[in-house]
Amino acid sequence: MFENLKDVNERLRAMEVKLADPDLLADMDRWRVVNRDYVALKPIAETYNKYEEALAKVREDEEMLEVAEDPEMVDMLQMDKEENQALSEKLEEELKILLIPKDPNDYKNVIVEIRAGAGGDEAGLFAGDLYRMYHMYADKQGYATEEIDAQSQGIGGIREATFMMKGEGAYSNMKYESGVHRVQRVPETESQGRIQTSTATVAVLPEAEEVDVEIDPNDIRVDVYRSTGHGGQCVNTTDSAVRLTHEPTGIVVTCQDEKSQIKNKAKAMQVLRARLYEMKLEEQQKELSEDRKSQVGTGDRSERIRTYNFQQGRVTDHRINRTIYQLQDFLDGDIEEMIHALQMEDQIKKLDVMTKQNASQD
């Protein structure tokens, strides 16, 4: 598995030279691609160097043990050998995970869609809580957010909202949030203190470039209308809101965040492109059954992935059976611990599939 890592340091140095090349610096799109590869390769090189160093120390201890006669020296060498052996095994496992093929979409920006589900006004309030949670998480990670569309519901909740999260690796962190989120709490409107269960759905779509998806303009119907605010009142005196309908698939996208019809149409096209790209990815995953089995719930909007229980102050992710008891901190955007646990479980599953595939080939 590590055979092709023998020249990893030379490859890393070659990338460093290339990144400093004035010709490449003049083309920032190409520079970002090379830099992305460099960032991905660097931890592999560092871990491989530590792994080789640990193995070299094991071999050195073994050679010294063959000639050592002093009992204290033998004990010291044996202890050092065992420590380096354990370290090499630990680094070997880390390398295996680092060598798992990366999702090509991991570096992309994401489009997040949140919709109120079952539960009436309470579902709308919960959808608003998730909307706030992801925005606070984005702030903590240094990601920029850009609003696309939002429709209010009931007493301060939202029926649905769409926004973009921009930043290196946004999709690699957010992709595990797709699915049904469930809340169990006493609603503000409940006078008798009864706990209600409500839901909201989250979809996380990688931003798609024009090269990822080809859209025939003749397949799109464009409707324009006046933007509306909370309660349905008019907030714009011109027809700036845009509704796009992709007739071959029936996908409908709306955008009314901007005062400019042109800007709203551009944002709506971003969302449409992302949804069509998502459909394309789903078709590819159906063909790769083993790859789909190795995923930790990324993409299925109907899958119940998480419960937020206010009475017990906990949030539980059902895919990995992980519970965190700092519910309010979680809702304030401190979701990194859960995301990291999901990433690790995903990598372990993929490593297991990869190991089985290698064993069957042998």
What's the CATH number where 277 sits? Answer: 3.30.70.1660
Together in a domain, 62 and 147: no
Specify if 237 maps to a domain.
Answer: yes
Domain that holds residue 217: 110-348
Specify if 73 maps to a domain.
Answer: yes
Specify if 251 maps to a domain.
Answer: yes
Specify if 164 maps to a domain.
Answer: yes
Task: Using the 3D structure, point to which of 54, 75, 98 is the last residue of a domain.
Answer: 98
Together in a domain, 114 and 57: no
Specify if 242 maps to a domain.
Answer: yes
Together in a domain, 267 and 181: yes
Greatest CA separation for the chain: 93
pTM for the model stands at 0.75
**Helical residues (DSSP H) of 199-310, grouped into ranges:** 261-287, 289-293
Q: CA 145 to CA 276: how far, in whole Å?
A: 22
pLDDT at 47: 94
Question: In this predicted model, what pLDDT tens digit does every residue of 217-267 receive, in sequence order?
Answer: 999 999 988 766 543 444 444 578 899 999 999 999 998 877 888 888 999
Tokens of 209: 């470039």
Together in a domain, 162 and 309: yes
Beta-strand (E) ranges in 186-275? 196-206, 220-225, 241-246, 251-255
Together in a domain, 68 and 148: no
Together in a domain, 163 and 263: yes
Specify if 262 maps to a domain.
Answer: yes
Specify if 288 maps to a domain.
Answer: yes
CA distances from 262 to 43, 182, 222 (A): 43, 37, 12
Q: CA 89 to CA 173: how far, in whole Å?
A: 28
Task: Using the 3D structure, point to which of 69, 98, 127 is the last residue of a domain.
Answer: 98
Specify if 362 maps to a domain.
Answer: no
- Per-residue pLDDT 10s for the chain (362 aa) are 677 788 889 999 999 999 999 999 999 888 888 988 898 899 999 999 999 999 999 999 999 999 888 999 999 999 999 999 999 999 998 898 888 878 888 888 999 999 999 888 899 999 999 999 999 999 999 999 999 988 888 777 899 999 999 998 899 999 999 999 999 998 876 666 788 899 999 999 999 887 788 889 999 999 988 766 543 444 444 578 899 999 999 999 998 877 888 888 999 999 999 999 888 888 876 665 544 444 555 545 567 899 999 999 999 999 999 999 999 999 999 999 999 999 888 888 888 777 776 666 65
- Total number of domains constituting the chain: 2
Together in a domain, 274 and 201: yes
